[in-house]
């Protein structure tokens, strides 16, 4: 589609020569989504009288665990790429991260700190999940423009072709990024309805996480990019199933405590 949003030819400024600059669609839209999500998170946290000190105190713990978890997941899946140069596993700047192992490590870190400081993980997920969904929506659109996270071949009428050398298919493929995008927009609407309904707060975030894992599990079937397979399931689907079951357990546990 449009992997490069802006392209600037080489230029000179104050006698310094600059190489051509390319600004990628995926990165731009992910950054926009992240900024909107941060603003929404801060607003809702203050509105709900959340203790932002909790996030501030453990911010680096959350970031570190997410990055390391995502990196370890990627190395596990694509270990063959690092066999000749094992030290390259430490090159965090090469862009190799597995999204769902990062999510799992973030949730586990959040769960640990909430248990330690007697915070309710459900209440934090009430504000974290809508913020995250906003990021994921913009990320899905950026992925669609850039041709990343692409789908597998299809003969359906809405199949599309990408002009991206990283997409190995020269035939129509599932626009799986749009499947994710529309599903997340629907989920955001569901979250809004849940907030307006009489559903007990601290449960909304857990339900949102559970539904997000389910959406990801289903749309993953249409992905066509490289991934290791376990018993006919993509490894990412196994991780999504873990999050789905874990969030479901927390929902039942939360309900039993409030009876």
**46-77: pLDDT as tens digits:** 887 888 888 888 889 998 999 898 888 888 88
Which helix (H) or strand (E) segment holds residue 189: the answer is helix 176-196
**106-126: pLDDT as tens digits:** 989 998 998 888 888 888 888
* Among the ranges given (87-96, 123-132, 148-157, 241-250), the one the predictor scored with the smallest mean pLDDT: 87-96
Average pLDDT over residues 79-108: 79
CA proximity to 3, closest of 122, 165, 244: 165
Cα–Cα distance measured from residue 2 to residue 88, given in angstroms and rounded to the nearest whole number: 30
Q: What is the DSSP letter of 14?
A: T
Contact predicate 69/109, CB 8 Å: no
Q: pTM for the complete prediction?
A: 0.84
- Asked whether residue 93 carries a pLDDT value surpassing 90, the answer given is no
Half-sphere exposure of 46 (CA within 13 A, CB side): 5
Contact predicate 166/147, CB 8 Å: yes
Label residue 7 by pLDDT band (50, 70, 90): low
Q: Which residue has the tokens 């079951």?
A: 245
Cα–Cα distance measured from residue 32 to residue 161, given in angstroms and rounded to the nearest whole number: 26
In the chain, where the domains are located: 24-50+119-259, 52-111
Angle at 178 between CA 174 and CA 182, to 5 degrees: 135
């Amino acid at each position: 589609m449009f992997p490069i949003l802006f392209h600037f030819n080489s230029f000179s400024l104050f006698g310094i020569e600059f190489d051509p600059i390319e600004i990628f669609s995926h990165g731009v839209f992910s950054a926009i989504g992240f900024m909107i999500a941060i603003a929404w998170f801060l607003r809702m946290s203050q509105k709900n009288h959340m203790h932002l000190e909790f996030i501030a105190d453990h911010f680096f713990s959350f970031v570190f665990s997410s990055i390391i978890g995502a990196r370890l997941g990627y190395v596990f899946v694509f270990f063959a790429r690092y066999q000749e140069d094992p030290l390259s596993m430490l090159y965090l700047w090469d862009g190799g991260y597995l999204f769902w192992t990062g999510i799992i490590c973030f949730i586990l870190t959040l769960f640990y700190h909430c248990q330690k400081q007697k915070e309710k993980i459900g209440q934090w997920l009430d504000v974290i999940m809508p913020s995250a969904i906003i990021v994921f929506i913009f990320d899905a659109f950026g992925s669609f423009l850039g041709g990343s996270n692409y789908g597998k071949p299809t003969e359906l009428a809405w199949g599309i072709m990408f002009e991206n050398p990283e997409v190995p298919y020269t035939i129509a493929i599932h626009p799986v990024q749009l499947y994710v995008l529309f599903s997340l927009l629907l989920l955001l609407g569901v979250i809004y309805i849940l907030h307006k309904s009489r559903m007990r707060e601290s449960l909304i975030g857990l339900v949102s996480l559970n539904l997000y894992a389910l959406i990801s599990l289903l749309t993953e079937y249409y992905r066509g990019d490289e991934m290791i397979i376990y018993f006919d399931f993509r490894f990412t689907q196994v991780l999504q199933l873990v999050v789905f079951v874990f969030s479901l357990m927390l929902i039942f546990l939360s309900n039993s405590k409030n009876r």
